[in-house]
Structure 1
Amino acid sequence: MTTAALQTVLTVPERFRGPAAVANGGWIAGTMADALNGHRSAVEVTLHAPTPLDTEVRLEHVANTVTLTDGDKLLVEAFPVAEDLEAPDFVPFTDAARAEAGFPGWHGHAFPECFVCGLREPGDGLRIFPGPVEGTGLVAAGWRVPFTVADEDGVPASIVGAALDCVTGWAHFAPGESALLGRLAVQIHRRVYPGGTYSVVGEATGRDGRKLFGRSAIYENDGALVASARATWIAPR
């Protein structure tokens, strides 16, 4: 007996780039989580290869797995995980916003056009600039959600996944340093509202050779957990 596959076509707009000419990994992870189960539970997304921009790729849903392919090339694979993702500690919005002054990207940014943490115009990119939080091992930024990322249903999971992404890398990076996202597990608990203010918090959780590990969270102003993520990055050789 075979399981019928549900297929659709996905095209990532150039706006949602990470490194030049490829999609932001967190945007892809949020998209895949939404396609898999409407982000009702944690979803682990593995990025096997970069997803090209402005190119039709195939999104296929079979049983409990969603894949993204470009012809015969596997780009992304996602499946649910039966756990609640552990989040870094809450940082109040004012402290998170204050931490942005220490953002390493001000002094050297490998991907200045990144949709999430790049130096894009207000309303275009998310402008999440994580810096170290004094007296902690955390990095954080104050996220002011632009109305331009919302659709008719509010802020989509793709944007939430994107916001959870880069902060886990900046928990490791010094100015000018970079790595590529290899895997991101995402869990969304509450809606994000356009025009709202949120704390985005990241924490480095370890390193194994070229692999960098981190976790992140989005918090409302009262400390309510909105979403969390667990990331694996691959540093260059």
Structure 2
Amino acid sequence: MTTAALQTVLTVPERFRGPAGVANGGWLAGTLADALNGKRSAVEVTLHAPTPLDSELRLEHVANTVSLYDGDKLLVEAIPVAEDVAAPPFVAFTEAARAEAGFAGHRGHAFPECFACGLREPGDGLRIFPGPVDGDGLVAAGWRVPFTVADEDGVPASIVAAALDCVTGWAHFQPGESALLGRLAVQFHRDVIPGGAYSVVGRATGREGRKLFGESAVYEVDGTLVAAAQATWITPR
């Protein structure tokens, strides 16, 4: 006996791009995580191929898996994971905001149009610019959540996961360097409030060949953990 698939159509608006012409990996991860379990537990999202913008894609839900297809081509796949997602330590908002001055992307950005970390207009992109925190191997940024990313239910999981995404890369990148997100495990603990102020923190956790590993977190100003992610990036050949 086969399990019937629940299918819907997903179109990624151009606003939510990462590299030019393709969807932001964190936005995709949050979208599929929310489709899988509605923020209830940790979800691991694997990006198999770049996802096009402004195209009708097939979102398929079968048992404990949500997959995104362009025709018959598998683009993204999400599965639940039992383990909690580890988070880097808290950095106070004022210290995180000061760290932005050292953001490597200000001196060379491979993807300046990126929704999360790109040099977009305020209110359009998230403008999360993680820079090094003195002495402890962390990068951090202050995130002032624009009202323009909220819907009638608040700030979607897709936006929170986008905030968690790029900071794990910038924990590794020097100016002008880049990689593509290959996998992101995300876990949501609390809602993000439109107009709120949060610390976004990341750190590098290792490297293996072309793979870069990192973890990130969003914290409230009092240090309460809002969401966490663990990422695998793939560097160019």
TM bucket normalised to smaller: over 0.9
1:102 deviates by 0.2
Which residues in structure 2 correspond to 1:21-100 (within 5 Å)? 21-100=21-100
Q: Deviations over 1:2-30 (max 9, x none)?
A: 11111000000000000000000000000
C-alpha distance in 2 between matches for 1:70 and 1:14: 16
**Runs (5+) with no aligned partner, structure 1:** none
Structure 1 consecutive aligned stretches of length 4 or more whose deviation exceeds 2 Å: none
Two-structure CA RMSD over aligned residues (Å):
0.4
Alignment match, 2:134: 134
Give aligned pairs, total: 237
SS for the counterpart of 1:111 is: coil
Q: Deviations over 1:166-185 (max 9, x none)?
A: 00000000000000000000
SS for the counterpart of 2:91 is: coil
Alignment match, 1:150: 150
C-alpha distance in 2 between matches for 1:130 and 1:56: 33
1:124 deviates by 0.3
Which residues in structure 2 correspond to 1:118-129 (within 5 Å)? 118-129=118-129
Matched, 1:172 2:172: yes
**Runs (5+) with no aligned partner, structure 2:** none
Alignment match, 2:207: 207
1:39 deviates by 1.5
SS for the counterpart of 1:205 is: strand
C-alpha distance in 2 between matches for 1:224 and 1:119: 28
1:136 deviates by 1.0
Q: Percent identity, aligned pairs only?
A: 85
1:117 deviates by 0.3
C-alpha distance in 1 between matches for 2:192 and 2:24: 19
- Report the TM-score when normalising by structure 1: 1.00
1:222 deviates by 0.3
